[in-house]
Chains A and B, each alone.
Chain A
Amino acid sequence: DGGITQSPKYLFRKEGQNVTLSCEQNLNHDAMYWYRQDPGQGLRLIYYSQIVNDFQKGDIAEGYSVSREKKESFPLTVTSAQKNPTAFYLCASSKNPSLNEQFFGPGTRLTVL
């Protein structure tokens, strides 16, 4: 079955450490997205990529970095510069970016200790 996988499901990090969240899709979708979800805030866009080797900042990119070396993969690194990284992170993909019906992964909950 095609879909989006995110790993790990839960992630704990000490302050000052960088951590990378994995996102893989086998839907053959061109576009991929990273969102951050906080209680009562809805989804906020961190980064997105509409094609391999290209990506753009979203609304809250500071303290995050991404890469898109393969169509299937769009990892997100939460750096030590992100002041409040504890959140639920969602990865999504879209076959047609101009219509942008999105398919979501199960999410990664990151907790900074």
Chain B
Amino acid sequence: AQSVTQPDIHITVSEGASLELRCNYSYGATPYLFWYVQSPGQGLQLLLKYFSGDTLVQGIKGFEAEFKRSQSSFNLRKPSVHWSDAAEYFCAVVASGGSYIPTFGRGTSLIVHP
């Protein structure tokens, strides 16, 4: 079965600084990969996804992520963080060819200082 690890429970950055949120997965083949964002008390919104092809994917709100097969990683990046980016971020993995049920990481809480 696949698993997802988000090593950082909390990340604190200053507004305008760059951001990288880490996501590592465990799965034998190439999975489908997702990043979602959740504002407090709200549902999740898809930021970006990777199915195949170009390993650098662009998403909404200026986010991007890079799939690195050799490192089993799918880290989320943003060059300049805005205060409105403060939220909970979840990485998710879907095993292609299996049940297609996503496995979510435990989330990383992003705190943005002015």
A97 to B98, CA, bound (A): 11
A6 to B41, CA, bound (A): 13
| Chain A: minimal CB distance from B46 (Å) | 6
Residues of A within 8 A of B55 (CB): none
B106 lies within 8 A of A42 (CB): yes
Number of interface residues of B (CB under 8 A): 23
A104 lies within 8 A of B106 (CB): no
Residues of B within 8 A of A109 (CB): 41
Residues of A within 8 A of B36 (CB): 102, 104
Cβ proximity bits B92-114 to A, threshold 8 Å, 1 near / 0 not: 10101000111011110000000
A92, A98, A103, most chain B CB atoms within 10 A: A98
Using a CB–CB cutoff of 8 Å, the interface residues on chain A facing chain B are 4, 6, 40-43, 45, 48, 58, 88, 90, 92, 97-107, 109
